[in-house]
Amino acid sequence: MLRLQKLSKTYKTGDQALTAIDLDVPKGQVLALIGPSGAGKSTMIRCINRLVEPTGGAVLLDEVDLTGLGPGRLRKARREMGMIFQEYALVERLTVMENVLSGRLGYVGFWRSFLRRYPQSDVDAAFRLLDRVGLLHMADKRADELSGGQRQRVGICRALIQQPKLLLVDEPTASLDPKTSRQIMRLITELCQERGLAAIINIHDVALAQMFVPRVVGLRLGEIVYDGLPTGLTPDKLTEIYGEEDWEATIEKVEDEEIEAAE
C-alpha cells in the first residue's frame, strides 16, 4: 500500500538524512522504526507526508506518487495519513473536541471549520473515538488541562478521525512514563488492528517495540540496516544499528515480559 522507492533527503546544510530508502508497507501492517537519534527516523516519517520535502525518490501511496503532487492534491493525500507526535502537538488553547475535530480539516471548508460548524457525522465520529479512548468526559476541557497520556489519546483521536489508511507515529511514548507508554502503544496497535490500518511507529524504546509490533525496521545514518521480526534483533544486530553496547539486559527484559504475559 505504501512504497518508498530510493527515498532520499539531503538538508540544505549538506547533511544527508536519508540515503535511498526502499520500504514496502502492506495494508494493515504495523511496523516499528528504530535507530539512534539522528538516524533519520523523524525525517523519513515527515518525508512521507511531505512536512519535509524529500530531495529524491518516490513515495507511492496506493500507486500514487506523493512527491510530485501540487498543493491541492497533496492536501487530499495528507487526509489519508494520520500523524501522531512525540509532544502531542495538540492546539493547547482549543478544547479536546476542537482538537479531535481538527482532524477533519482536510474534508471541511474554511468557513465551516472557522465557525466550528462541523457536519453531524464528524461530531458523532469524534464522540465515538473519545469514548473508545476513554476521554468522553473530557470533551469540553481545554487541551492544556490534560495529562500527557490523555493528550496523546486526543492526538490519536485526531489522527483516526481523518479516516486514514496509514498512521505515521513519531515517538509516541518518548514523553510518557513507562506504564502510560505501554498503554498508548497497546491502544495504537489495537486501533490499527480494529481498523485495518498500517502504521509506521518511530520509537526509541527497543523493548517496547518488540512487545507490540510484528515487524521492526532498523535505521542507521539514513540507511535501513535491519528489516525483520522483532525476535531477530540479536545483540549483533542491535550493535549494528546503535553501536557497541551490552545488549543482553535489554533483550532479557523482553523475554521476561513475554513469559509474564504468557502466564
Partner 1 sequence: MPVLERAGMQIWRRRTGRDSLIRWFGWLIGVAVFVYCWQIISASTTWFFVWDAPRIANDIWTRATPPRWEYITQLGRPIWDTLNIATLGTLIALCLAVPVAFLAARNTTPSALFIRPVALLIIVSTRSINSLIWALLLIAIIGPGVFAGVIAIAIRSIGFCAKLLYEAIEEIDSGQVEAITATGASRWQVMAYGIVPQVLPAFAGIAVFRWDINIRESTVLGLVGAGGIGLQLSASLNVLAWPQVSLILIVILVAVLISELVSAKVRGAII
Positions that interact with partner 1 (CB under 8 A): 49, 51, 75-79, 81-83, 85, 87, 89-94, 102-107, 110, 113-114, 155, 158, 162, 168
Distance separating alpha carbons of residues 193 and 202, to the nearest angstrom: 18
176: left (phi over 0), alpha (psi -120 to 50) or beta: beta
CB of 101 to partner 1, least distance (A): 10
Strand partners, 217: 33, 227
Instruction: Give least dist CB 210 to partner 1, A.
Output: 28
Quote the least distance from Cβ 157 to partner 1, whole Å: 12
Q: In terms of CB distance, is 5 or 113 closer to partner 1?
A: 113
Nearer to partner 1, 71 or 243 (CB): 71
**For partner 1, the closer CB: 90 or 206:** 90
Supply 68's cell numbers: 510530485
Task: Provide the minimum distance between the beta carbon of 236 and partner 1 in the complex, in angstroms, as a whole number.
Answer: 36
Nearer to partner 1, 85 or 212 (CB): 85
Answer left, alpha or beta for residue 89, where phi above 0 means left and psi between -120 and 50 means alpha.
left
Question: 210: exposed, middle or buried (C-beta count within 10 Å: 0-12, 13-18, 19+)?
Answer: buried
Q: Which is nearer to partner 1, 22 or 92 (CB)?
A: 92
Q: How far apart are CA 81 and CA 103, in angstroms?
A: 11
Strand 166-170 with 81-84, pairing: parallel
Give the shortest CB-86-to-partner 1 separation in angstroms.
8
